[in-house]
């Protein structure tokens, strides 16, 4: 038995996205949950980047960005 796939219009997607707890993307009438970080995930990643940046300061590495 196959599950029927619900198709949404772009307007329906945009309305649902306004109140959605998690972000999603709209593709060919389907609403697909996006992977992504939580606030805590973003905080941890930010701390990691800061530690890396200041941890290598003064070493032979250079940042060319």
Q: Is 43's pLDDT higher than 80? A: yes
Q: Which CA distances in Å does 19 have to 5, 8, 16?
A: 22, 16, 6
Q: Is 4's pLDDT higher than 90? A: no
Cβ proximity of 24 and 34 under 8 Å: yes
Q: Tell me whether residue 50 is exposed, middle or buried, using C-beta atoms within 10 angstroms of its C-beta: 0 to 12, 13 to 18, 19 or more.
A: exposed
Cβ proximity of 22 and 34 under 8 Å: yes
Q: What is the pLDDT of residues 18-35, one digit of tens each?
A: 998 888 999 999 999 887
Cβ proximity of 17 and 39 under 8 Å: no
| CA–CA gap between residue 28 and residue 31 (Å, rounded) | 8
């Amino acid at each position: 038995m196959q599950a029927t796939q619900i198709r949404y219009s772009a307007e329906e997607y945009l309305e649902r996205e306004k109140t959605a707890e998690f972000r999603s993307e709209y593709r060919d009438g389907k609403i697909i949950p996006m992977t992504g970080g939580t606030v805590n995930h973003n905080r941890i990643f930010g701390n990691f980047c800061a530690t890396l940046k200041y941890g290598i300061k003064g070493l032979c590495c250079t940042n060319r960005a």
